[in-house]
Amino acid sequence: MELVAEKGEQGGVAAVAGAAGPESGLAALVDELAHGVLLTTFDARLLHANQVARHELVRGGAIGLWDGGFVQACRAESDRELQSALARSAHGKRSLVHLESMEGAPLPVAVVPIKPVPGDPARCAILFSRRTVCDALMLGFFARRHGLTPTEEQVLAVLCEGLSAPQAALRMNVAVSTIRSHVRSICAKTRASGVREIVRRVAVLPPVAPAFPHQAVH
């Protein structure tokens, strides 16, 4: 089968989403989430995708939209696990599946059955994990809320990737002492006891997605 997700201005997902019949307001709300959300039938036919999920489908690293409008994992073994999880959802069971990527880290997804609505097709949701602890949009909000400088915001972003102070210094091409000085300033401004607390606070910020360019999935 051929991967048919492509970049473009119109088509694909928008048309399929209309066929799924979600309330337009709810669909717009789901578009604002930093977690990818797919609505599919139990046999993996795509009904709706929010903007983060559309971005992931277009990227085609771990999951994609294939000819016929069916969602499949990009690696065969992962797709077998995904299709099994979709089949289990038809019996009301939830699953966690790690989709191996063609490159980079796996994409964990939860497959969750959706309570049936009279007159609508049986459906389930595929919920993506976030690729990062915190997306740039909310990290920027957090930084401005606490009066962080652009450099401090950059340091915080690197620390949220799980890098240590020496690793952050190497990434930013500065001295380790400079990173530690920024960390002390960040802690003072946010009234945090240390890096671990700051990262925890950033990780639980509301999952609001950044704006993506329009992408179509044909």
Q: Which two tokens stand for residue 81?
A: 């696990």
In the structure, what pLDDT confidence band is assigned to residue 211 with cuts at 50, 70 and 90? Answer: low
Enumerate the β-bridge partners of residue 108: 98
Model confidence pLDDT, tens digit, residues 74-118: 999 999 999 999 999 999 999 999 999 988 889 999 999 998 778
DSSP designation for 187: H
- What torsion do the CA atoms of 89, 5, 215, 86 make, to the nearest 10 degrees? 0
pTM: 0.77
> Using one digit for the tens of pLDDT, what is the confidence trace for 119-160?
777 899 999 998 788 788 889 999 999 999 999 999 999 999
Edge-to-edge order in the sheet of strand 124-128: 46-49, 37-40, 124-128, 107-113, 95-99
pLDDT for the residue 72: 95
Which domains does the chain show, CATH number per domain? 13-128 (3.30.450.20), 136-203 (1.10.10.10)
Could you list the beta-strand ranges (E) of the chain: 37-40, 46-49, 63-66, 70-73, 95-99, 107-113, 124-128
Say if CB 60 and CB 79 are below 8 A apart: no
Residues 6+ apart with CB under 8 A from 76: none
With contact defined as beta carbons under 8 Å apart, do 165 and 182 qualify?
no
Q: Write the DSSP assignment of 114-166 as a string of letters.
A: PPP-TTSPP-EEEEEPPSSSS-HHHHHHHHHHTT--HHHHHHHHHHHTT--HH
